[in-house]
Each structure stands twice: as structure tokens, then as C-alpha cells.
Amino acid sequence: MLKTSKEIDIILDKISKIYPDAKTELNYSTDFQFFIAVVLSAQNTDKQVNKVTERLFKIIKEPKDILWISQLEMEKFVWSINYYKHKAKFIRLSGEKLYQEFDSQIPDDLAKLITLPWVGIKTAKVLLSVLYDKPFVAVDTHVHRVCNRIWIVTTKAPEETDKKLEKILNYKQKMKMHHITVLFGRYICQAKKPLCENCSIKDLCNYNVQKGKSL
């Protein structure tokens, strides 16, 4: 049976206790820098991204700063990142669009955000959650895995999980879930070797039931 809303509250409370100050692990000091870091982070670790942005963010702070940087220069900064050529291009195009159409501000609206190059639903939700404190859960592989292991949802792909969570979570749960679940999936409920023995929600987890084992 899928978890009830009350059980989801208990689970989120327990995970919150592990990460009372949960926040993004990407380094940034302006909204546009956060935007760049999020784009670079697809298929890369936050650690890899922070290494690259340490140099890049010395010269790029706001969208206008990108107008003076060529594609080649941008690629030189981000070459160690997966899909760096595409990402360099999309970051430059997004910077131009933000400068020309959005007064250099990252929009606080999902429909507007997804008009920016590279920005899909997941990226838009990360931006809205972190920059504007809005009730969105960006479903990455960690959130998808954790939610399925504990049977908050039973889905096959992150996109499906995203749609289900939109329906079943209430405002408070959405506000709470994003960062703590990413960190929980990254460091405890890991893909290959989840640390089940010491997990504080193991009594509420269905993972080993699915595998036919007891905890």
C-alpha cells in the first residue's frame, strides 16, 4: 500500500532531523550564477560543478556579463563538464534572453522559465524552490529512487514521479521535501548500496520487502 499523507509527514520529519539545515550544495552568490550552476549540474556532481564555477563566477555574475564571452571562451571554462559544448551554448543564449526579455531577472514563474534554452520542468522547479522558496519538488534520480523505495509512489520514471508528487503532496510537504530527499538519496539511500541498517525510516520503508528480504 502506498504511504498515507500522515505517514509521509512522519517520513519527512525523520529525514528533516538528519538534515536540519538542508540546502543546495552548489556554490553561487547571485541568482544568475545559481542558474548556471544548475544547468551545469545535469549529469555531473555538484563537486565537479563547484570546481568549474569557482573560476567562471569571478567574471560572470549577471546576465549582461555573458554578452562579452564567446562560445570558445565559455567552453574553455566548462570543458570538464559533461555536454559542455551544449551547455556553454545554452547558458550564453539564456543569459542573452534574460538580459533582453526579463530585465536580467530569473523569472519566478514556471511557464516563463521553461521558455529559456535547456530549462525543462525539473530545472525550473529547482530554480523556483531555491531562489523563490516556492513549493516545488524537483524530481531527480535521488528523489525518484527514494520515493519508490519507501512507496510514496510506485513509478517507472522521474517524470511520472513528478506528476504523482504534484497530486499527492500538500503545500507543506512540497516545501519540505526537495533538499532533504536529494541529500538523503545522495548519502544514505544510495542507488547501489543504501545504508539500510542505520536508516531512521527503515520501519517505514518497503525496499527490502520489494526484494523479498526483511530488514
* Residue of 150, 152, 153, 165 interacting with ligand SF4 (CB under 6 A): 150
Q: How far is CA 38 from CA 26, 29, 48, 119, 196, in A?
A: 8, 13, 12, 10, 30
Binding window for ligand SF4 (CB under 6 A); candidates: 77-85, 95-103, 112-120, 192-200: 192-200
Task: Please tell me the distance from the alpha carbon of residue 137 to that of residue 177, in angstroms, as a whole number.
Answer: 7
Q: How far is CA 167 from CA 5, 53, 162, in A?
A: 12, 36, 9
Task: Please tell me the distance from the alpha carbon of residue 84 to that of residue 91, in angstroms, as a whole number.
Answer: 10
140 is catalytic: yes
Contact 158, 120 (CB under 8 A): no
DSSP single-letter state for residue 204: G
Binding window for ligand SF4 (CB under 6 A); candidates: 42-50, 110-118, 158-166, 189-197: 189-197
18 touches ligand SF4 (CB under 6 A) = no
Nearer to ligand SF4, 82 or 190 (CB): 190
Nearer to ligand SF4, 105 or 210 (CB): 210
Task: Please tell me the distance from the alpha carbon of residue 52 to that of residue 55, in angstroms, as a whole number.
Answer: 6
| Interface map 105-144 toward ligand SF4 (x if CB under 6 A) | ----------------------------------------
Query: Which residues make up the interface to ligand SF4 (CB under 6 A)?
Result: 149-150, 188-189, 194-196, 199, 201-202, 205, 207
